[in-house]
Amino acid sequence: MKKSEMTPQQPQIELSKTTAVETESGGKIWQQGFVLRKVSRFITNSPEDAVMPIPVFYDPDTGKILGQGLPPEIRGDYDTI
């Protein structure tokens, strides 16, 4: 089996056909950070609770998280745009 057959092909995206995602104040620059979620030791099957980092983008002026970057089931837990 060829290597190209083993890995799924990524779609070719033309950047000229994309649109900017603006902050609430009309800015175009976002900061990257993490939200941390605690995971019970009973779920991880380990002696202690674990911490799971979730990467997010947030507005540097307001601190609000870009909601589209969060899993839908936890969006309500954060102040999002």
Q: Does pTM surpass 0.75?
A: no
Specify whether the CB–CB gap between 57 and 65 falls below 8 A.
Answer: yes
pLDDT value of residue 25: 84
pLDDT at 79 over 90: no
Return the closest-CA partner of residue 74 out of 43, 45, 52, 59: 52
Output the pLDDT for position 57. 94
pLDDT tens, residue by residue, 3-62: 656 767 878 889 999 999 999 889 999 999 999 999 999 988 899 999 999 999 999 999
Residue 81 pLDDT:
86
pLDDT of 1 above 60: no
Nearest-angstrom CA–CA distance, 46 and 37? 16
Cα–Cα distance, 2 to 73 (Å, whole number):
39
